[in-house]
Chains A and B, each alone.
Chain A
Amino acid sequence: MLDPIFLSLKVAIIAVCIDFVFGMVVARFMARRDFVGKNLAESLIILPMVLPPTVLGYGLLIFLGKRGPIGNILLDWFGFQIIFTWWAAALASAIVSFPLMYQSAKAAFSSVDLSLEKAARTLGTGEIRIFLTITLPLAWPGILAGLVLAFARALGEFGATLMVAGNIPGKTQTIPLAIYSAVESGEEETAKMLVLVITVLSFAALFWLNKWSKEKIQLWKKGSETHAES
């Protein structure tokens, strides 16, 4: 009963870490650069959000399987077979939840006034410090929103996870899979308990996000409103 909960949390946290690293880089790049094929690239990034998770799962199986390009390298170089491990579940969750992270982060980066970065440049500041002290703090509410949404989505991942990680109790059986198995085998009590847990977890994440963002950015909001009036 506890196994799926811890496993789900572990998978979701790793997935969100992957989303965070790639989300920051890709979103920042896409928010500030224009290039040929940008629409194409953007559509590809968002595609996992609209595709059935089973399609992604199947794609991942092909890539990560023993004879797949990535699975092959992992197996040859590290002797590690990723398919049917919780790492595969984390990767599947990361890909499925990535568009949520990306869209929030991109909107957040786009909303940061470019003249603030320019002002910092004229004050003798290097690009890294500008990113850490201006861009990131101002974009943070949006980035955090993306992280929380991605976390909630990763927590609930079912289809792609089932395809690449299977449904192995104690090993890859996350909460959604455990609920499915419990219902299938008539263990109603377990199913109800897990449904309650995942609902509470997801609700708590979203509730906290709403509360935090309102409190935290109130001052800045006030700033930008007066800004607009003047």
Chain B
Amino acid sequence: MLRAEIRKKLPGISIHVKMAFNQGILVLFGPSGAGKTTILNCLAGLQKPDAGLISLDEKVFFSSVDGIDTPARKRRIGYVFQDYALFPHMTVKDNALYGIPSRCKKDKDYQTSVLDVMDMLKITHLQERYPGQLSGGEKQRVALARALMVEPDLLLLDEPLSALDYTTRKNLQAELRQLQKIWRIPFVLVTHSRKEMHALADEVLLLDRGKQTGCLCTDRDIPRLEAAV
């Protein structure tokens, strides 16, 4: 269960959101400048909220009351960045394995799961390539593999499909849903595309200029959702 209340003042907007979310894909939907990425950064530990609480299951990552602020590297939260942020000087394989400590790389069990992840994302044949030699969709898959390889408890995706062409986007949408079912960890996905929200969301958090304008469950709220956006 992901629980978060985030308050943060930025130049121009002040963010205040509350969320409680268990499984599936939570979509943060709103126009550019609504503070979506800032919220992801706060969840990941890359930015610090001014006040609030962030917890996943029984682990508290941030609590302004108790003075807790777990650094990003200890949160086990996967993050797929908008521009993928693949390490340009490393091969696909080295990118994917970056988060796995070297002692685990020798571990046979881990190796199998590494191959599984690469197979699942269809990037096994790209292992020796550099990010500069990949298409947008391939980069996206490598970024996903890298984030999933460390076996995170939560996956954050910042506009993961916005830079891709129509067909690739369609394929990846289906794959994302499938991945979520296999991995069984909550995904939090940011988008400003209504289509993407409809295709992916189990729950939606509507945002406008940092404020939560609605929180909807797609199963029962589809008509309300249609009305809201």
Contact = CB atoms under 8 A, between A and B. Distances in A.
Interface of A: 113, 115-116, 118-126, 133-134, 137-138, 219-227, 230
Interface stretch (B56-64, B132-140, B175-183, B193-201): B132-140
A226 B132 contact: yes
14 contacts: A113-B85, A118-B46, A122-B45, A122-B46, A122-B73, A124-B76, A124-B101, A138-B89, A219-B130, A223-B88, A224-B132, A225-B132, A227-B131, A227-B132
B216 interface: no
Contacts of B101: 124
B143 to A, nearest CB: 8
Interface string B68-88: 000111111111010101011
B225 interface: no
A119 to B, nearest CB: 4
B44 interface: yes
A115 B136 CA distance: 17
B150 interface: yes
A122 B77 contact: yes
Given A220-B88, A227-B88, A121 B46 contact: yes
Interface of B: 44-46, 71-79, 81, 83, 85, 87-89, 98-99, 101, 130-134, 136, 139, 146-147, 150, 163
A115 B146 CA distance: 14
A122 B147 contact: yes
Contacts of A219: 89, 130, 132
Contacts of B74: 124
A126 B72 CA distance: 10
Given A220-B89, A223-B88, A120 B98 contact: yes
B146 A123 contact: yes
Nearest to B143: A119
Contact of B89 (A121, A122, A137, A225): A137
B139 A230 contact: yes
Nearest to B158: A115
B78 A122 contact: yes
| Majority SS at the chain B contact face | loop
Nearest to B77: A122
A198 B89 CA distance: 35
Contacts of B99: 123-125
Given A115-B83, A124-B76, A219-B130, 16 more contacts: A113-B85, A118-B44, A118-B72, A118-B81, A121-B45, A122-B72, A122-B73, A122-B75, A123-B147, A125-B98, A126-B73, A220-B130, A220-B132, A224-B88, A225-B132, A230-B136
Contacts of B44: 118, 122
Nearest to A113: B85
A124 B150 contact: yes
A222 B130 CA distance: 9
A119 B71 CA distance: 13
Given A116-B87, A119-B79, A124 B131 contact: no
B131 A121 contact: no
A123 B88 contact: no
A220 B87 CA distance: 9
B132 to A, nearest CB: 3
Nearest to A219: B130
Nearest to B164: A230
A123 B73 CA distance: 6
Nearest to B131: A223
A20 B134 CA distance: 35
Nearest to A123: B99
A122 B163 CA distance: 22
A123 B150 contact: yes
6 A-B pairs closest in CB distance: A223-B132, A123-B99, A223-B88, A119-B85, A222-B132, A122-B79
Contact of A121 (B72, B130, B147, B163): B72
Highest count of chain B CB atoms <10 Å: which of A118, A137, A221: A118
A144 to B, nearest CB: 14
Nearest to A229: B136
A116 B90 CA distance: 12
Contacts of A230: 136, 139, 163
